Structure 1
Amino acid sequence: MSHLSKPSSRRGFLQAGGALALAGCFGGFSGAAAAAGSLAQTGAAKLPKDAEPFYGAHQGGILTPQQQNSYFAALDIADTVKREDLIALLRAWTSAADRLSRGLPARALSGQGDKAPLDSGEAFGLSPARLTLTFGFGPGLFSKNGVDRFGLAARRPEALVDLPKFNGDQLVPEKSGGDLSIQACADDPQVAFHAVRQLAALADGIASVRWVQTGFASGAPGGGTPRNLMGFKDGTNNPSPKDPALMNQFIWVGDEGGWMKGGSYLVARRIRIALEHWDKTELGFQQEVVGRYKDSGAPLGQKHEFEPMKLSAVDKDGNPVIPDSAHSRVASPQENDGARILRRAYSYNNGADFTAERWPPWHQGIEYDAGLFFLAYQRDPRSGFIRINKKLAAIDMMNQYTTHVASAIFACPPGARPGGYIGETLFAQR
């Protein structure tokens, strides 16, 4: 495989990869028999106990119990790329993702004589750490600057809309959008980064990284709802992933989605939190802002985290126990015509830099560049995130502490089958 050392042959390598992957060059498959053979050759007939299966009706990393770390990357496709290049890349990514999720190198090692390393090596000896890899297609995959690059413009789903500008948005274009997305989640941050690093290397000459965001999540001992950097539990009001009826109603795309059936739409938002301002806020007001108790996560006026919110409850003076502009109230299904989304957010910490707060006391100076990397899956963003966030952007008390600084939307197709590849249903017809 000495051709790997020749940058000029990269496209040829990927074009060949579409066929070679099926032959096993990337650990790929040519049907159930080849899948079994590949597993036997790698000595991985059974998944390690801390491995999550890659193949399935739905992509992993959506309903998978949340891992502790995330590495998210958005990529742009080069202008010169052809449809066959893109399909070859998706085949290579599929094979590599399956291998990585089993704790194997992204590509089968072919010997010490290779001039170009096939794996960066930082995950050798590490467990799979429940790694999941979730792929998404941004609007730019279907057309960009008015150009239908891959013959896919007519297949852009109606639900894959351009997100509107919400009140208070201060989006950084360079940290928003993207033609493709990779979400790696694992219980080891090095495993998550390694996976994206290998997939980005496979895309060399086809797609390049536009922006990345790391994230971390910590649940209660023994499991539980993770807490965000405000100190509150985040995701309490999620529809239960263990309820198939709820998932089919709110998360998985149905027959209306055509090639997207069994997939889900992802909205990603980087939300910077003015932590210095928040830390100076007394506990009682923090709880009014959120609408829940900080220690237990229970709705105000109640005792347990998962009790339904009693939005009609009033205090002795006739005031709502949960304020009208409390975050959990404004985001609730009761206030949004029953709309529900599946939050899978991670906290982030990008260090510190200069910022100017947009609410009193309008502090300016070096502050934490930290907050929430909001990730939400849904059946249709128009009736999900967009409906909910329009109201949040207008009246949520939390806005005095938060600013949305990056945004993206992706169509995450259904899962791949052995022998197939991610996005195969999209490319099945022209």
Structure 2
Amino acid sequence: MVDHQDAQPAEERSPDAGASRGLSRRGLLGLAVGGGAAALAVGAGAGYAVASSRSGAGEARPYDFFGEHQAGIVTPVQEHLHFASFDMMPRTDRADLIELLQDWTYAASRITQGLDVSATGAVGGSPESPPDDTGEAQGLPASGLTVTIGFGPTLFEKDGEDRYGIRDRRPAALERLPAFLGDDLVPESSDGDLCIQVCADDPQVAVHAVRNLSRIAFGRARLRWSQLGYGKTSRTTADQQTPRNLFGFKDGTANILADDTAALDENVWVAASDEPSWLAGGSYLVARKIAMLIETWDRVRLSEQENIFGREKGEGAPLSGGSEFTEPRLAKLDANSHVRLAHPDTNGGTRILRRGFNYVGGNNALGRLDAGLFFLSYQRDPQQFVTLQRSLSTDLMNEYVRHVGSGLWAIPPGAAAGSYVGESLFAQ
């Protein structure tokens, strides 16, 4: 990030206009003493992500943090992800939760513009005190950084307890996802009271964001689990090429795009007529960590790989003919091919907005590659994802994947300048 002394032009563009009060005393305390090993518990694959190439990262424009919708949903998909799930600490109350969301909003509004996490920053404070900002992003631009905040089911009620006085405002659709065929979930890598999705075109900028937001949360929320991702596996704008997953196939060819406002309104954004009204303009986020059995897949002949997907491995055209974006003729595809089972025509028109990333975490205990897809999807109602996932129960690809992590969060609408993410939840 740029040094705070040189930040005035970016400062005038808006970050502190939406959070002029600065960090709370608790937030500043967290910067001074919080974080530690927990803030750096980025999970397997950390070294790979941070060491990845930064080619072109400095060219990415800064995205506004404030707006009708939170950034990081229809924003052009960046190259790197750092996803973090948090649990609120015991004995915290409603005021603690609100204060944390205000602090995260303030800090996020700054770092998304390429600024340090506070006005004092990494080098502007007392030399006898820990710096507010950890400093590893000094000199780096915003790199297209987005920060997206979500609320899990347990934030509203946990073990029958209404910890924050918001149980009656919990969306009826916000409940733990049902079990699906192929689930082998690790509880310690699933769910959470809060989530932060951080995306950027520079991995160091993404890690810096989660590291500092974790420090700010000290004493109020603790990191439950996190995941690094690289190499987007979907696109959200027409000018982005369709990327490939670790099986080597183009992924997300038919994804909803940012300029398709009708599809977004129908499938992604919660409407004012939906319940609850405080979530209007928001969405629901599903996260699924999907381990890919790479070595097994690599021994499958090409024709069978293509039959499993229902697409050519090279251009990505459907096996029924045409080019990548030709609408597939489903009757010409294997009845259990991925494309056919996931297609809207097979699922009553159901669509979701995908925003996934590849991940690699070295080798597992069996000496095999620990790698796969960190699947992220946004939808107006979680049942859209449930419908699709159940349809995929006979997917030929299931032989080569295992779902090991899962979570669902309500994503509030964007914050207006002078407000904070989630304010509508607490409005009386």
TM-score, L = length of structure 2: 0.83
Label 1:281 to 1:49 Cα distance change in 2 as closer, same or farther (>3 A). Answer: closer
Partner of 2:21: 23
Partner of 1:247: 264
Label 1:282 to 1:380 Cα distance change in 2 as closer, same or farther (>3 A). Answer: same
Partner of 1:287: 306
Q: Does structure 2 retain, via aligned residues, the 8 Å contact 1:25–1:108?
A: no
Q: Does structure 1 retain, via aligned residues, the 8 Å contact 2:81–2:228?
A: yes
Q: Does structure 2 retain, via aligned residues, the 8 Å contact 1:296–1:303?
A: no
Cα shift readout 1:100-157 (whole Å, capped 9, x = no counterpart): 0000011111523451210100000001100000000001110111100000111110
Partner of 2:218: 204
Matched residue type, 2:88: I
Partner of 2:138: 124
Say which of 107, 113, 134 aligns to 2:118.
107
Q: Distance in 2 between matches of 1:228 and 1:85?
A: 40
Equivalences for residues 179-258 of structure 1 within 5 A: 179-217=193-231, 223-255=240-272, 256-257=274-275, 258=277
Matched residue type, 2:325: F
SS at the partner of 1:366?
A: coil
Partner of 1:302: 321
Kindly state the Cα deviation for residue 158 of structure 1 after the two structures are TM-superposed: 1.3
Kindly state the Cα deviation for residue 25 of structure 1 after the two structures are TM-superposed: 4.8
Q: Distance in 1 between matches of 2:61 and 2:325?
A: 29
Say which of 271, 275, 298 aligns to 2:290.
271
Partner of 1:37: none
Q: Distance in 2 between matches of 1:310 and 1:80?
A: 57
Cα shift readout 1:263-305 (whole Å, capped 9, x = no counterpart): 0100000000000001111111000000111111111122311
Q: Distance in 2 between matches of 1:422 and 1:195?
A: 16
Q: Aligned residues, how many?
A: 368
Matched residue type, 1:245: A
Q: Does structure 2 retain, via aligned residues, the 8 Å contact 1:76–1:209?
A: yes
Q: Does structure 2 retain, via aligned residues, the 8 Å contact 1:94–1:422?
A: yes
**Residue 351 of structure 2 is aligned to residue 333 of structure 1:** no
Cα shift readout 1:204-247 (whole Å, capped 9, x = no counterpart): 00001000000011589x83011110011111121222111110
SS at the partner of 1:90?
A: helix
Partner of 1:167: 181
Partner of 2:104: 93
**Residue 391 of structure 2 is aligned to residue 388 of structure 1:** no
SS at the partner of 1:183?
A: strand
User: Structure 1, unaligned stretches of length 5 or more?
Assistant: 1-19, 27-47, 313-320, 355-364
User: CA RMSD for the aligned pairs?
Assistant: 1.6
Deviates more, 1:300-309 or 1:185-194: 300-309
Q: Distance in 2 between matches of 1:77 and 1:307?
A: 47
**Residue 141 of structure 2 is aligned to residue 143 of structure 1:** no
Q: What stretches of structure 1 move > 2 A for 4+ residues in a row?
A: 20-26, 110-114
Identical columns (%): 48
Q: Does structure 2 retain, via aligned residues, the 8 Å contact 1:271–1:403?
A: yes
Q: Does structure 2 retain, via aligned residues, the 8 Å contact 1:288–1:326?
A: yes
Say which of 50, 56, 61 aligns to 1:50.
61
SS at the partner of 1:23?
A: coil
Partner of 2:369: 368
**Largest Rg, 1 or 2:** 1
Kindly state the Cα deviation for residue 336 of structure 1 after the two structures are TM-superposed: 0.6
User: Structure 2, unaligned stretches of length 5 or more?
Assistant: 1-17, 25-58
TM-score, L = length of structure 1: 0.83
Kindly state the Cα deviation for residue 78 of structure 1 after the two structures are TM-superposed: 0.5
Q: Distance in 2 between matches of 1:93 and 1:336?
A: 38
Q: Does structure 1 retain, via aligned residues, the 8 Å contact 2:359–2:373?
A: yes
**Residue 426 of structure 2 is aligned to residue 427 of structure 1:** yes
Q: Distance in 2 between matches of 1:135 and 1:88?
A: 14
Q: Distance in 2 between matches of 1:332 and 1:182?
A: 29
